[in-house]
Structure 1
Amino acid sequence: MSNEREFDVVIFGATGFTGKLVAEYFQAQYGSDDNVKWAVAGRNEAKLNGVKKELGISESVASIVADGDDDDALNALTKRTAVVLTTVGPYQIYGEKLLSACVDNGTGYTDLCGEPAWMHQMINKYEAKAKETGANIVFSCGFDSVPFDLGVYYLQEHAKKQSGDVIEYVKGRVRKMQGTFSGGTAASLKATMAAAHKDKSVMAA
């Protein structure tokens, strides 16, 4: 990638369960690629460096210390990179300050959020400004969307080849899956249920 900023991508929350998996993927894909400039970020520098050592990530990959509740740190971080990839949830509790900083600084934002009501609120609140600053905001790039987005894309491409047209309505469901919920997913569900208990419009959204 090429841009004016110091980094192409910063992985925010790289010491958590999912963040570590993302860092491991980046190391495998871009570890020795000088064309992709990436960094890891989180609250604790020692833990960030520990993840890098464990995964064999070069010291040339920066460790950026930033707390999700520190406006100044988030502002500084988002000015340094083209995109922030965050795994720090529940997003309705920890996500808005980072999203706001990205919007303010025209920085791309992506997450793996599975909290539709929060996403709905954030789109209503930040879409206009994001269009002004050029910040591309892409929610839900995890299990909640990937199989369905790719499944619909595959299905529509097949439909176009067969009939020359797309299908107007597609419905999907999960019949079986392996593994269990991560702690972050469980916390997101708990936060969503608590929000819905306080505000009935949350479930409608």
Structure 2
Amino acid sequence: METNQGLLIEKISRIFFTKGFQKISMDELALTLKISKKTFYKYFPSKEQIVRDCAFTFLKKNIEAIQSIAASDENPILKYLQLLSHIGNNIATINKVWLEDVRSSMPSLWTEIDEFRKLTLESSMQILYREGLQQGLFKEYPEGLIVRLFSVSIRGIMHPDFILNADFEPKTALMNTIHLLLTGILTEKGMKVYKEIQKRNEL
């Protein structure tokens, strides 16, 4: 992606994630960004393409952050919590209007996003679970079951249907769910580490 186009995507993302995209025309975007319609349409032939570019640029940045957390030298319990805190903070930056627009006018986009996110989450969760087992922090269960359980729970809370209909904050739901799942697989040693992290309030 060209640098200028990348900057435009960042600016448009801030608009879309705050106000949604259905009620904003291509011409309005060009005017707001103070560029000619000719230049704007050269970069973005359709609004659907803009929405996709915004969504996947945001997603890729977050996936890079998730992979960075998973690859760090911190203990796997802290990394689990950091990963979920990061996801929760990012959910909070997206207005419900954006999610409603995606759900109503581009549901296939969310399916693509979810599949992309699923692969990253399951890969990262697998790494962390194996590290936790090796360090005696996690109990031994079928790896595939644990990985999918965490993945499905996280993605379920991030789904537009859940966020738009929940009467509590998604980040709160996310952290409470992970607390329940995580404490269910912690060994006695792991529980001590978890309580120490909570005392230090490292998130």
TM-score range, shorter chain: under 0.3
What TM-score, normalized by structure 2, do the two folds share? Answer: 0.27
Which fold has the larger relative contact order, with Cα–Cα distance below 8 Å and residues 6 or more apart in sequence? Answer: 2
Greater Cα radius of gyration, structure 1 or 2: 2
Bigger helix share: 2
What TM-score, normalized by structure 1, do the two folds share? Answer: 0.26
Bigger strand share: 1
